[in-house]
Amino acid sequence: MNTRLLLLSIIALIAFTSCEEDDENLNGTGVVNFSITELVEVENATDPLVINVGIDNFNHSGGTIEVTISGADYGSDYDTSTGSATFTLDVSPQSLVSTFSIIPIDDDLIETDKVLTITLSSVTGALELGDNTTLTFTILDNDNPLIAMVGFENEADQIEENSSNPLTINIPFDQATTDGGTITVSSSGAAVYGTDYTIEGQSAGDFSITVPAGATSASFNVLPIDNADFESDKLVAFTISEVSGGLSAGVTTQTVVTILNDDSPPNPVIDFSASNTLTFNEDAGTVTLNFEVSDQTTSDATIELTTSGTADASDFNFSGSNANPYTFVIPSGSTTGSVDITMVDDAVLETDETIVLTITSVTGGLDFGVNLLSQTLTLIDNDDVAFNYVETFETATDLASIGYESFLLPAQDLPNNKKFNYNQNAGKYSDVDDVTQSSDSGLVVFYSNTQNGNGTLDNLLITPIMDVTGDVTVSIDITYSQAPQFNNAVVTFYYSETYDGSGTWNESEWIVMGSETAEGLNTNGFGTNDYKRKVMNITSNDNFYVAVRVNQTIDDTFWKTQWRLDNFKVYN
């Protein structure tokens, strides 16, 4: 028993001694690696970034690690805790990590991100390089480039044709541009490059302006070309059609330059009068068009007017003449001129028509004007479109198929089918041409309290929209089939220009055209099942719907009702 105890004590002592010997063993080799392969930091970071180099065990006697950093400028883009881009790390015996720090340097330069490559290039002592000896460290630039918005200073400008000084067109920026760029300008208008103007330093009306970095504006110079011709002022529109680089198009991307004529005509000039009336009904008869003459004529002048447009010789003439061009004379000593045009009224339904009049020849004591050499007259057709809506219900299959709506109003508490419905019943309806004759189809509503007891009948029928305005006649055939002592329903006729076809009843949108009761019809000589052609006249300002409403409180006295409708007509 004592021998066994002694043996166990010896084994435990040996094990303890062996552990102590492992902890103090410095004969091993430490393998050096980065624990990660990639790091990212922003340029304006305020704290240094600590980078660890790991050693895989502590049974080593130390050594050194050579570190090399490449890919950016030391001292401009970053600093290190060691004071250099290439340095040596001392590793103490049994150390498991060695560290250094990188500090990005913030600046105001707009540049690409900087990518550093950190390499464990060599080791000494009891160390050796592992497999992961390279670390990529990206420094993100935090400076944004300034994008300048560019646009013309003025939307319009002008210059005299004989000006010896160029017109400068300025294009200010909202801020300095960091990178610069180009502005592409295109031109259009009556003014012709090389004939009416040039652009200083350019060979065409379409050109590009190079903008250097840091610029706050751009410009170009327009030089007019003087001539001896009397002509109208010429316009040229310059448009910023494209920008590139550190530029962006602003709000005012077009400017219009007027080149002002400086030459006088040899004779007075003629134009249409700007005060002429240009729109006429076709029944206007004879109208007068006036011309403006810039000064008193010294000899007779002959003017030719050429006509075009959608109107033709059947629609107008010049005091009986259909000549095209039409020639007239302005006598010597005149300061004005005029022609008479006769509009021809017809009974043809047609669209409005145009007469385009153009001064195409001027001889004698006048010259062409520069302001208004053409005018367009519009002839308004005065022939009304006949509107004639008729629904006899003879070919219908149901109300929906012909665009009618029939629905209950909130007050009705009787069954849903107790409303106006399409019905075929031989001889029970009226003829479309003669209300005293019969037809077989129409609309009916019927209720008796023997069916579902007392309650309120209140429902509505709405036609399709009527596409007509002005003075309109609405006609509906109506009869009652239950005597007034049982039937006190009120049938009301409405129209509406604001109803939207939604099936929602808003009484304030509807205008009453009339109403009927069984008692009233009976008093006026219409007996049971005798149809009255109810005719109502309205004046509409817009397209409209027609509605018919039947309302009766069913009780023990007025306990049943029946109404028939037929032949809905709307016409003008």
Q: Assign 14 to helix, strand or coil.
A: helix
Q: pLDDT tens-digit profile of 392-439?
A: 999 998 999 999 999 999 999 999 999 999 999 999 999 999 999 999
Distant-in-sequence, close-in-space partners of 485: CB < 8 Å, separation ≥ 6: none
How confident is the prediction for the chain on average, in pLDDT?
91
Mean pLDDT of 238-257: 94
Predicted confidence at residue 8, as pLDDT, reads 37
Strand partners, 458: 551
Predicted confidence at residue 347, as pLDDT, reads 78
pLDDT at 3 over 70: no
Q: Are 47 and 101 in contact (CB under 8 A)?
A: no
Q: Say if residue 409 is in the same domain as residue 550.
A: yes
Residue 541: phi and psi, rounded to 5, are -100, -10
Considering the domain boundaries, does residue 25 fall inside one?
no
Q: pLDDT tens-digit profile of 167-219?
A: 999 999 999 888 889 999 999 999 999 999 999 999 999 999 999 988 999 99
Predicted confidence at residue 471, as pLDDT, reads 92
Q: Say if residue 415 is in the same domain as residue 564.
A: yes
Considering the domain boundaries, does residue 486 fall inside one?
yes
* Among 357, 380, 403, residue at a domain's last position: 380
* Among 241, 260, 279, residue at a domain's last position: 260
pTM of the model: 0.40
Considering the domain boundaries, does residue 14 fall inside one?
no
Sign of CA dihedral 498, 503, 505, 506: negative
Q: Say if residue 133 is in the same domain as residue 188.
A: no
Reference 231, options 355, 131, 105, 373; nearest CA is 373
What tokens does 423 get? Answer: 């019905």
Considering the domain boundaries, does residue 8 fall inside one?
no
Q: pLDDT tens-digit profile of 262-309?
A: 877 788 999 999 999 999 999 999 999 999 999 999 999 999 999 999
Q: Are 510 and 495 in contact (CB under 8 A)?
A: yes
Q: Say if residue 467 is in the same domain as residue 506.
A: yes
Q: Would you place residue 384 in the very low, low, confident or very high pLDDT band (cuts 50, 70, 90)?
A: low
Reference 511, options 498, 530, 526; nearest CA is 498
* CATH number of domain containing 401: 2.60.120.200
Q: Are 263 and 228 in contact (CB under 8 A)?
A: yes
Predicted confidence at residue 385, as pLDDT, reads 66
Considering the domain boundaries, does residue 13 fall inside one?
no
Using CA atoms, how far apart are residues 336 and 352, in angstroms rounded to an integer?
Answer: 30
Mean pLDDT of 14-30: 60
Q: For 57-166, where are the E strands, in sequence order? A: 63-70, 78-80, 86-91, 97-104, 114-125, 127-129, 134-140, 148-150, 156-160
The one-letter code for the residue type at 538 is I
Q: Would you place residue 9 in the very low, low, confident or very high pLDDT band (cuts 50, 70, 90)?
A: very low
Considering the domain boundaries, does residue 10 fall inside one?
no
Predicted confidence at residue 108, as pLDDT, reads 75
Q: Say if residue 402 is in the same domain as residue 506.
A: yes
Q: How far is CA 396 from the centre of its chain?
A: 43
Considering the domain boundaries, does residue 473 fall inside one?
yes
What tokens does 281 get? Answer: 């009904």
* C-alpha separations of 461 from 279, 445, 458, 469, 490 in Å: 44, 11, 11, 22, 14
The total number of structural domains in the chain stands at: 4
Reference 112, options 70, 67, 142; nearest CA is 142
Q: Are 150 and 248 in contact (CB under 8 A)?
A: yes
Q: Say if residue 438 is in the same domain as residue 351.
A: no
Q: Strands 438-448 and 490-496, how do they pair?
A: unpaired
Distant-in-sequence, close-in-space partners of 500: CB < 8 Å, separation ≥ 6: none
* Among 234, 260, 286, residue at a domain's last position: 260
Predicted confidence at residue 24, as pLDDT, reads 65
Q: Are 257 and 234 in contact (CB under 8 A)?
A: no
Q: pLDDT tens-digit profile of 68-89?
A: 999 999 999 999 999 999 999 9
Q: Say if residue 281 is in the same domain as residue 334.
A: yes
**Higher per-residue confidence, 261 vs 503:** 503
Q: Would you place residue 12 in the very low, low, confident or very high pLDDT band (cuts 50, 70, 90)?
A: very low
Q: Would you place residue 40 in the very low, low, confident or very high pLDDT band (cuts 50, 70, 90)?
A: confident
* CATH number of domain containing 216: 2.60.40.2030
Distant-in-sequence, close-in-space partners of 427: CB < 8 Å, separation ≥ 6: 438, 439, 440
Ramachandran class of 162: left when φ > 0, alpha when ψ lies in -120 to 50, beta otherwise:
alpha
Predicted confidence at residue 18, as pLDDT, reads 39
Sign of CA dihedral 328, 279, 269, 228: negative
Q: Are 402 and 380 in contact (CB under 8 A)?
A: no
Predicted confidence at residue 370, as pLDDT, reads 82
Q: pLDDT tens-digit profile of 349-376?
A: 778 899 999 999 999 999 888 889 999 9
**Structural domain of 177:** 148-260
Q: pLDDT tens-digit profile of 115-142?
A: 999 999 999 999 999 999 999 999 887 7
How crowded is residue 509: how many other Cβ atoms within 10 Å of its Cβ?
15
Mean pLDDT of 568-572: 94
Q: Assign 5 to helix, strand or coil.
A: helix
Q: Are 43 and 107 in contact (CB under 8 A)?
A: yes
Mean pLDDT of 234-260: 94
Distant-in-sequence, close-in-space partners of 31: CB < 8 Å, separation ≥ 6: 55, 56, 57, 127, 128, 129, 130
Considering the domain boundaries, does residue 15 fall inside one?
no
Q: Say if residue 404 is in the same domain as residue 533.
A: yes
Q: Say if residue 251 is in the same domain as residue 288.
A: no
Using CA atoms, how far apart are residues 475 and 513, in angstroms rounded to an integer?
Answer: 11
Q: Say if residue 69 is in the same domain as residue 181.
A: no
Using CA atoms, how far apart are residues 135 and 121, in angstroms rounded to an integer?
Answer: 12
Q: pLDDT tens-digit profile of 137-173?
A: 998 877 667 788 999 999 999 999 999 999 999 999 9
Predicted confidence at residue 2, as pLDDT, reads 43
What radius of gyration do the chain's Cα atoms show? 50
Residue 245: phi and psi, rounded to 5, are 70, -140
Predicted confidence at residue 45, as pLDDT, reads 86
Q: Say if residue 552 is in the same domain as residue 419.
A: yes
Q: pLDDT tens-digit profile of 467-501?
A: 999 999 999 999 999 989 999 999 999 999 999 99
Q: Are 429 and 439 in contact (CB under 8 A)?
A: yes
Q: Say if residue 419 is in the same domain as residue 529.
A: yes
Predicted confidence at residue 141, as pLDDT, reads 77
